[in-house]
Chain A
Amino acid sequence: MSDNSEKSIDLNKNTCPNREQRANGTNVYYGKASKLLKDAKKGNLKCSERKFQQSGGCVLNFYLSVRVPTIRDAVTIFNSPVGCSSSALGYRELFRGIPVELGRPAQYNLNWITTNLSEDDVVFGASEKLKGTILEAERRYSPKAIFILASCTSGIIGEDIEGAINNLQPKIKAKIVPVHCEGVRSRLVQTGYDAFWHGVLKYVVEEPKKKQEDLINIASMLSYTWQDRLEIERLLGKVGLRANFVPEFATVDQLEVLSEAALTAPICPTYTDYLSRGLEKEYGVPYFLYPSPTGIKNTDEWLRQIGKFTNKEDEVEDLIREEHKIWKPKMEAIQDKLIQLGKNGEKIRILGSLGQGRLVNQLPFFDELGLQTPAAMSQDFDDLLVDQLDDIINKHGDFDIMVNTFQAAEQANITTNLDPDLTLTCPFQGGTWERDNNVTRIHSLRGDPDPWSMQTGYGGAVAFGNFLIQAFKNRSYNKTLSEKTPKSYNDWWYEQSDPLYYIEKE
């Protein structure tokens, strides 16, 4: 655990520091992981400007806009022009595909409202409009919490959200929770996670009424499916523990009792970081950040950590033994198949990653599967994960790492130049998945109820291993489209070897 365990959490402030300040985050890097680690340890990471840049997401519109409105018994208010919330329009459908038989509540309502800031509001201010919207949210739904998401526009015109709500809170039953996710505030979308947790810690979490010794907080995000939740519940259930999955599709009650849990465990360390540290600082809830339950070894270790904090070490060892009997043979079969798929006895080369959290969890998993990773890509990187990266380099040796904030052209360049046997893509990258080699997705989506899409725990390790094998069985979609449609970029871009060609060098 890092010595600076609070990492600048101060709930007296309106919001968190940016990741740039809190954790020395960077938006760009390409080179050896060992050098990145060295720079991070020295505090030398910093952001750079790109001369060519693509829309990789902002503090609001990468994660929060789509996910905060899935909190039940709440209303989300976007204090923004009308376009900042359109990404949330899928809210009513997002979890509906999950059968009630799998534990999805039959009845629930999700709600969001935009203040729809107009030219007049920009000129004259919009605090009355925000107040009216809060009152209307209360009238319509009597929610337990009202989340207010700030935007570039509300920030630049200097809207005083705290001023507006302090005045209103005494008249309102719902907890009003401002979230400072102004898009322009930071180059690192992860600042949005921290900004959200800051609001939750400051305004929603309650003083513990009792300690729930069997409750484990798990902050699940974006890319974990309903089946992953079931797998985690299954495993924890076997040792008498329960999972408190927050924040997506959680109730406000679940957020309130975060302080009562025995432990906060990670699925994605970088996402969970601020919450974990905040709960420890404010309420003494212990946490660990590494590893996450991706792959069999990581899952073993994840369970052991949980066992340590809950005094269930023996039960956990029994569980691991039992589970290995079921899953290890299946994993060995996958390993054999992947070896057969490699050419000339060489390991299959696989390229892909997403958040830095996935980076540190997935590399050991790929290793376990018998795959080699010529490089890893990460959206951004900061010093919250130095210990983990250190550990990975020690165990697996040095490797190339690219930090690139969702830059499609940079990913297209590196994918072309490294030409891995399998590319794992988060499929937002335009035509870059159109290539004459194997391609599949890097992660599945939360509304997906199919066990086939599981990726967490033991079941997920095997399901995802089999999923990867499927990617080698037919490449006609990407191959056909790569032949039949024009390339995104001019030839020179693919032919030159520097994915960071357009970085402004100082």
Chain B
Amino acid sequence: MTEENYLSDDLSKDSLEAPRFSCSLAGAYGTTLGLRDAVPILHSGAGCGIGQLFGTLYAGGQGAGGNEGGTSTPCSCLVEDHVIFGGETKLRNLIQSTIEVFNANFFVVISGCVPSLIGDDVNSIVGEFKNKVPIIHINAPGFKGNSYEGYELFFEAIADQLLTEKPLKKKLVNIFGVVPYNHVFWKGELSTVKKLLSSIGIEANIIFTEQDGLANIDRIPSAEYNVVLSTWNGHRAVKKLKKKFKTPFISFPNVPIGAKQTATFLRTVGDKLGVDLDIIEDVIKREESWTYRYMEYPGDAIILVRPNSYFAVVSDSNTAIGITKFLTNELGYLPDIVEITDNPPEEYHEKIRNEILDNLDAAFEPEIIFENDTYNIRKNLEDRPFQFLFSSSLEAPTSMEDFGALHISVSFPVYNKSVLVHNYAGYDGGLSLIEDLVGTFVGPL
């Protein structure tokens, strides 16, 4: 930072212009809503649910809240009276009535800033209901951290308050590191990963999106391995599970995009789980055969219109690694600059940097910057050669006039796409990324 700046350069504690994440309550809330048949109960001010409807759910690829989200989310709606007299009675009544009213089987109480500041004993209130229904408490005041912190807090609460030892099930893995809503393609990514692993005989418990989230959570301890698809998201969760249930984990830097990353992924996981090498190689061969034939179709458009183009990626770490490597290693594109916007803890920066640069098929290295502040993010993009900008939809309307670049929305927040099954994971996913990319420039040739 230059000396004329008035803010400190502590990335996690600074004031921030339009940061590309929300708070820990939001992360725990979005994660809970990623489960089916689970109800979040917010112990917070009345605006936290509707605020995150706009700022997490809509921002995560235009997801409406469903039955339990947004203004449907039970909330203690704390006001001054509770600040003075405490919010415990309100919370007790709210949990009781939510159990009576809601058509659901799992209840997740999430405490925000207010109860933390006024000192409500939420654990003991939640404890009163533990023998009635499956219920946990996540203490997630917004001032404690960002959305990604909320994801870790969710799994820590699950591990501490709910999970019990289960008999080991061979060739079952749990998938971690894909944060609902905050990784905007989460739904499609998880189901793609499940299908990929299934193709080599491994069953993946993707926890989210599928019916009866509670049952998926209950069987977490029976997995042979935990697979974490991130350099940092979900790492606290899998370490905790390792400590508690001795489940080893396999770490892969991102959700694999395209054939090359996917082959590495299948070999890595397959090897650990003792899958016959021939099975893995057969699958890879079969999938690559059609994938690379498909990659020939846009060949004329790419070669004639935008070959060897510079690109910028401004995204969460997982997305940045996957997209940068795919475009560089499979499409001959030139990585100009990568800005990481999800505020990974300092200790992971080196790892993320290495994962982007490792085996990167370019005659130069992209500049890699960790930045949370939208003003600085945009300053860093000025006067650069990139022709494509892969980022949040914040840049979408003015990417061409500001940076001379075509824009593709790939990272939180994404308001300009309805993301249902769309994603860049696996073999199809790499092709989807090509569709999105070529679609920005192609016309009659």
Contact = CB atoms under 8 A, between A and B. Distances in A.
Contacts of A120: 13
Given A62-B50, A112-B17, A153-B142, A136 B70 contact: no
Interface stretch (B19-27, B291-299, B421-429): B19-27
Given A54-B71, A82-B21, A86-B21, A136 B90 contact: no
Contacts of A54: 49, 71-75
Given A114-B19, A502-B97, A83 B25 contact: yes
A49 interface: yes
A86 B65 contact: no
A468 to B, nearest CB: 22
Nearest to B56: A86
A92 interface: yes
B68 interface: yes
Interface stretch (B260-268, B306-314, B394-402): B394-402
A93 B397 contact: yes
A486 B103 contact: yes
Interface in B145-174: 146-147
B141 interface: yes
B117 A153 contact: yes
A111 B17 contact: yes
B102 A408 contact: no
Nearest to A186: B79
B55 interface: yes
Interface in A71-87: 77, 80-87
Interface residues of B, number: 86
B117 A428 contact: no
Nearest to B59: A89
A280 B245 CA distance: 69
Contact of B18 (A61, A89, A133, A429): A89
Contacts of A1: none
Contact of A140 (B47, B147, B375): B375
A183 interface: yes
Contact of B69 (A83, A430, A490): A430
Given A61-B51, A93-B393, A136-B5, A82 B69 contact: no
A430 B46 contact: no
A113 B54 contact: no
Interface in A174-209: 183-187, 189
B16 A86 contact: no
B14 interface: yes
Nearest to B13: A118
A139 B6 contact: yes
Contact of A133 (B6, B64, B80): B6
Nearest to A58: B47
Interface string A419-462: 00000000111111000000000000000000000000000000
Interface string A473-506: 0000000000001111110010000000010000
Given A89-B55, A139-B5, A82 B16 contact: yes
A135 interface: yes
Contact of A92 (B64, B97, B397): B397
A242 to B, nearest CB: 28
B124 interface: no
A120 B12 CA distance: 12
Contacts of A84: 23, 47, 51, 142
Contact of A53 (B68, B77, B397): B77
A115 B17 CA distance: 9
Contact of A87 (B52, B71, B74, B100): B52
A65 interface: yes
A358 B8 CA distance: 46
B42 interface: yes
Given A83-B48, A93-B415, A116-B13, A429 B71 contact: yes
Interface residues of A, number: 79
A157 B117 contact: yes
B67 interface: yes
A51 B75 CA distance: 10
B66 A430 contact: yes
A119 interface: yes
B59 to A, nearest CB: 5
B90 to A, nearest CB: 7
B270 interface: no
B15 interface: yes
A132 B59 CA distance: 29
A112 B373 CA distance: 11
B113 A152 contact: yes
A132 B15 contact: yes
A406 B21 contact: no
A111 B378 CA distance: 13
A322 B58 CA distance: 43
B99 to A, nearest CB: 10
Contacts of A488: 67-68, 72, 102-103
A141 to B, nearest CB: 9
A90 interface: yes
Contacts of A487: 67, 103
B441 interface: no
Interface in B266-301: none
A2 interface: no
Contacts of B13: 116, 118, 120-121
A112 B19 CA distance: 10
Contacts of B354: none
A208 B59 CA distance: 42
A330 B49 CA distance: 42
A117 B45 contact: no
Closest 3 CB pairs of A and B: A55-B49, A83-B23, A86-B55
Interface of B: 4-8, 12-26, 37, 42, 44-56, 58-59, 64-80, 82-83, 90, 93-94, 96-98, 100-103, 113-114, 117-118, 141-144, 146-147, 375, 393-398, 413, 415-416
5 contacts: A52-B101, A61-B51, A81-B23, A408-B71, A409-B101
Given A55-B49, A89-B59, A152-B114, 15 more contacts: A54-B49, A57-B50, A62-B50, A82-B21, A82-B23, A83-B23, A83-B52, A83-B55, A89-B415, A118-B12, A129-B15, A185-B80, A408-B72, A430-B65, A502-B97
